[in-house]
Amino acid sequence: MSQSAVAVSAPGKVLLAGGYLVLDRKYNGLVFGLDARIHVSVKPFASSSGVTFSEITVKSPQFQDAVWEYGYRLAEKDGGVKVTQLRVDADFKLNRNPFVETALAYALSYITSVGSSNISPSSITILADNDYYSTSSASLTGARFHDFGVPLAKANKTGLGSSAALVTSFTAAVLSYYLPKETFDLTTEAGKRKLHNLAQAAHCAAQGKVGSGFDVASAVYGSCLYRRFSPSILSAHGEPGTPEFGKQLVGIVDESGANGKWDTEIVKDQVKVPKGIRLVMCDVSCGSQTPGMVKQVLAWRKETGAEAENVWEGLQNVNEGLSRELVQLAESGSKDYSELKQRILAIRRGIREMSEQSGVPIEPPAQTELLDACSRVEGVVGGVVPGAGGYDAVALLIEDREEVVQTLRELLSTWKIEGEVDGSMGKVSMLRVKQEMEGVRVEQSSDYAEWSE
């Protein structure tokens, strides 16, 4: 076990092309990592007096009351590690964080199954780069990490994939802290693959065994073309504490179990951003109900059969065309973006067709109006509603010039979008993020010292 502090960060994501398609192994998604990261540091910690079993404390100091204290014990019959949230006093209502709790249980179960079962107490600090959450301009400071001044449950997310980045960086930091380098080394391809498999298992369990896993893949590997794993890989194992969970988890992570190797496809060299082009994200504050939208689209696909498949095949073709064009521009050095514009417009047509046929507002009229207005700005190549679509966000590819950014900011400063639920007007703001090719990485723990006291 490492006796000194460790720190790890993982990037956010945007699914630029492949929303809904990425749920099916027949299709892939073009996912970009973003330079907004979730940071996790782990350091030694002495147990509080009176605690009868070992304790790990997790805190997210940018938010009010964001402290979770966990006891943990080794379960019998190779059940891995059972994690229990501690109650500070009898009147204190437990403030659960399923992503932290599940990631901790999975990481400790894996650690005790491949290494030492002697887990010493530790203190874990989670920090989010500022663009993960909407803030009022009055609260902005020059600090690297804002104090958001609200409980985590009341913070407004900007949809950059915080849960996947959290689970990935949290899992990586805990493994790096407790396991010797010969067992787990985050800087190696073998280490990243183990992290990917464990983080996918934990994230999938925390969100109810749904999702394609593209967000965890980009948190580990950065920007990539992603084809999902077969759901059966994660469908058979039990819960932490149940008999043989530890053995099952090692089989999944080390690809030594009954299900064998993961069939995920993660291709890095087919994703490139031409020099002079950057990706920007715009947050739309009224938001959408993503799980309900996914359910409706999948129901429509099942009901209409061949009709829906034609739409999906058409979208896959134009999505692949976008990837190819970006690579071609990057390798040729050409500044002619006319074909890239057409590829983006073709994707939008396919998305609107899916919207109309399924009855789901993937690119609703308000977003069409916004994207069209942005696309008319000189230097904007084009944009899409990323991921599952709706009212959450738009992603734009623009020429990387300050005057383009400034003109866009001026356009968006007065823009309002009517939400889908109660007719409330949502503001649109440009985030400061851009694309990030690199995935998870080791950080200097001293960089976070002032927040981890």
| φ and ψ at residue 57, rounded to 5 degrees | -105, 130
Is residue 110 pLDDT above 90, yes or no? yes
DSSP codes, 322-364: HHHHHHHHHHH-----HHHHHHHHHHHHHHHHHHHHHT--SS-
Backbone angles phi, psi at 24, to 5 degrees: -110, 135
Task: Report the range out of 39-48, 86-95, 235-244, 268-277 with the highest average pLDDT.
Answer: 268-277
Question: Given this model, what pLDDT does residue 449 score?
Answer: 87
CATH class of segment(s) 6-268+440-451: alpha beta
Domain boundaries, the chain: 6-268+440-451, 277-436
277-436 is a CATH 3.30.70.890 domain: yes
Residue 138 has pLDDT above 50, yes or no: no
* CA dihedral (202, 203, 205, 209) positive or negative: negative
Report which of 178, 210, 164 is spatially closest to residue 440, judged by C-alpha positions.
164
Q: How far apart are CA 400 and CA 60, in angstroms?
A: 34
The distance of Cα 21 from the centroid of its chain, to the nearest Å, equals 17
Residue 369 has pLDDT above 70, yes or no: yes
Which one has a higher pLDDT value, 54 or 227? 227
pLDDT digits (tens, 9 = 90+) for 316-344: 999 999 999 999 999 999 999 999 999 99
The pLDDT value recorded for residue 157 is 84
pLDDT recorded at residue 137: 45
pLDDT at position 163 over 80: yes
Hey, which residues does 281 pair with through a beta bridge?
A: 395
User: Is pLDDT larger for residue 59 or for residue 2?
Assistant: 59
The mean pLDDT value for 438-446 works out to 96
Instruction: Tokens for 210, please give them.
Output: 């749904």
Please provide the average confidence, as pLDDT, over all residues in the chain.
90
Among the ranges 2-11, 250-259, 328-337, which has the highest mean pLDDT value? Answer: 328-337
The arithmetic mean of pLDDT across residues 289-305, rounded, is: 88
Higher pLDDT, 158 or 215: 215
Tell me what pLDDT residue 407 has.
97
pLDDT, one tens digit per residue, over 209-252 is 778 999 999 999 999 999 999 999 998 788 999 999 999 999 99
| Confidence bin at 93 (pLDDT 50/70/90) | low
Q: What is the mean pLDDT of residues 370-391?
A: 95
Reported confidence tier of residue 90, pLDDT bands at 50, 70, 90: low
> Residue 384 has which token pair?
């899409």
For 22-47, the pLDDT digits (tens) are 999 999 999 999 999 999 999 998 65
pLDDT for 104 equals 98
Q: Could you tell me the pLDDT band of residue 1, with boundaries at 50, 70 and 90? A: very low
pTM: 0.93
Question: Which pLDDT band, with edges at 50, 70 and 90, does 264 fall under?
Answer: very high
Terminal Cα distance for the chain, rounded: 21
Percent of the chain, pLDDT > 70? Answer: 92
Q: Of 260, 118, 132, which is closest to residue 197 (Cα–Cα)? A: 260
pLDDT category at 292 given cuts 50, 70, 90 is confident
Q: Which tokens is 148 given?
A: 């958001």
